[in-house]
Amino acid sequence: MEKRLFVAEENYKRLDLFLSEQAEDLTRSRIQKLVESGAVFKNGERAKKSGEEIRVGDRVLLELPEPCEYAVKAENIPIDVVYQDQDFAVVNKRQGMVVHIGNGVMEGTLVNALLYALDNLSGIGGVMRPGIVHRIDKDTSGLLVVAKNDKAHLSLAGQIAEKTCKRVYYALLEGNLKTDEGRVETDIGRHPVDRVKMAVLPSGKGKHAVTDYKVVERYGNEFTLCEFSLQTGRTHQIRVHAAHLGHPVVGDPTYGYKKQKYRLDGQLLHAAKLVLTHPSTGERMEFTAPLPDYFEEIVQKLRKQYPAEK
């Protein structure tokens, strides 16, 4: 077990803030978890909470447990790695694959595949979600970035939080969207009755969610192909906002129409573009992924049916 001792040279309002400045290799959330687990001591007494005040001369001992092996097993599952270097990888996730284990799912996830395919993953997400910076839904396809070390993870997560990482999705919507482009800005939270679902809630009752959209093609009054740009990253955000517009994503089993024209395994929603800044070089990088075959086939059929609609 690694032990680190720090002596405060000034007052701090919070213990976790003091430690985050002293132990620069540890995130504040990691420190908070260490406090909760009883691994932090102040003046010889076990710290009770992360918000404890620190005074000049206080001695803070931090006990770091030995690194443990990933609890998730590596599985030889084919995945589409679009790009990778020593800092991160970009993966084109297929529809139907869960990103990480949880809720009874212990294998067959993207994390299981990543542990086999990549030489390293960051540890910030813990043993359950190594390398995972952000997620996309099980039945949504497309691009997501995976961190291979903690420094890269912090940089990439910061870009998402600061909205400098651009994420663009394509979705086929039910009906004919009236406006060519716009912004949906609401609060999103758990549905008040159906707790499995998310919902648009009154202001202040959920988390702020912002989605920009632009019509790409129209197919009569039947369907609209749209481009969505995420300004925030709430659970099911695009799907909830599309339904809020009155035009849910085609094939969406949760927020879509009960009667569907096409037999699909999930929503026609695809993360098509990812733009980010390289954590080490500062280079601005752009990655794209074409629509999956099942999505493209429907678009081609609609283009033939409505050749003049744009």
Burial zone of 284 (CB within 10 Å; 0-12 exposed, 13-18 middle, 19+ buried): exposed
Alpha helices, DSSP H only, in the chain? 15-22, 28-36, 110-117, 150-161, 237-244, 293-305
Q: Look up 137 and say whether it is catalytic.
A: yes
Mapping DSSP to helix (H, G, I), strand (E, B) and coil, where does residue 296 land? Answer: helix
Contact assessment for residue 57 and residue 7, using Cβ atoms and an 8 Å cutoff: yes
Q: Strand 59-64 and strand 2-7: pairing?
A: antiparallel
Name the catalytic one among 137, 187, 194, 293: 137
| Rounded CA separation 3/5 (Å) | 7
52: phi then psi, degrees, rounded to nearest 5: -60, 145
Please identify every residue annotated as catalytic.
Answer: 137
